[in-house]
Amino acid sequence: MDKKQSSIIIILHSTAYYLLSYILILICFQFITGLMAMFFDIPSIIYYNKIDFLVNTDSWNFDSVKMIFSSGSVISLILGLACLVVFLKASSLEGTLKLLFFWGFIHGLNIFVGSIVVGAFIYEGMGYVFAWMYLTDTIKMFLLFAGLIIMIGSGTYLVKPMLLSANSYFSKGRPEDRAAFKVQQFFFPYLISTVIIIVLRLPVTLYELLLLVTPGLILLPLFSGLHRFTIFFFDDNERNIRLNYKLIIIATAILIAYRVLMSFGLRLG
């Protein structure tokens, strides 16, 4: 198989895992938010791109706003950290399934930290919590920079495990091949998936749009050129790069099913 075909397969696999992990984390986020609203006797309808709360503005109070608009993000972070543990444990394995957990961590972290970064200046999501707390601009700037440091720092920590994920396709990771691999395994899937998710969730608000872009901050250290590693030897077994048709079909079916079914809305409470 030539390099072009191998590159396309790597991109397709990683894109499929990116989209699958996003949908799974998103579903958990939405349902936790809806269930928390039920706890405060606030009925809601979950759609593919939003959650409608069936109450007027006078029914909200600080406790309900704080718990409802933060609970989903906190659970997403916990799920993301669980995915990180699995990814690090599985990083030495040859299979590609570990990418589901890698992207799961990215999405889980992003829904929590990214919502803080974006919500500090846009009154939506976690921004509602900050608005009810009457945070000063100084504190908002602190939250912004703290969030950026956490996301970029997390990406820096994961640079080596990300490069080692090449063992799914190659028996060794040569320095001269890393630039192409980083683009194929991470940048293109992130870019392609972001466009697909935007189309899937149209219409999207500015808050949602920025939240879809912020995962790129975690990937940024991978392309900084600050990390230099010698050649990685995985094993002596040559890899046979084949397209996983089942993965592509499953990812496509789940995306379509989610978009179609959730367009009718799911009422909780």
Give kind and range of the element (H or E) at residue 166. none
Alpha carbon dihedral 206, 208, 213, 215, in 10-degree steps, equals: 150
Residue 183: CB atoms within 10 Å: 17
Lowest mean pLDDT among 63-77, 98-112, 170-184, 220-234: 220-234
Q: Output 27 or 60, whichever has higher pLDDT.
A: 27
* Stated pTM of the model: 0.91
pLDDT score recorded for residue 173: 61
Domain boundaries, the chain: 3-268
Q: Is residue 73 within 8 Å of 115, Cβ to Cβ?
A: yes
Task: State mean pLDDT over 198-208.
Answer: 91
Q: What percent of the chain has pLDDT over 70?
A: 91
Q: How confident is the model at residue 90 (pLDDT cuts 50, 70, 90)?
A: confident
Decide if pLDDT at 104 tops 70.
Answer: yes
| pLDDT for 222 | 84
| Closest-CA residue to 80 (of 102, 62, 58) | 102
Q: What is the pLDDT of residues 120-166, one digit of tens each?
A: 888 888 888 888 888 888 888 888 899 999 999 999 899 888 888 88
What lies within 8 Å, CB to CB, of 112 at 6+ separation is 73, 74, 76, 77, 80
- pLDDT given for residue 172 in this prediction: 64
CB-based contact 121:98 (threshold 8 Å): no
pLDDT(44) > 80? yes
CA diameter of the chain = 67
Percent of the chain at pLDDT > 90 equals 49
What amino acid is encoded at 128 in this protein? Y
Q: For the chain, what is the total number of helices (H) and then of strands (E)?
A: 12, 5
Q: What's the whole-number mean pLDDT along residues 63-83?
A: 92
Mean pLDDT (the chain) is 87
Q: Is residue 54 predicted with pLDDT exceeding 60? A: yes
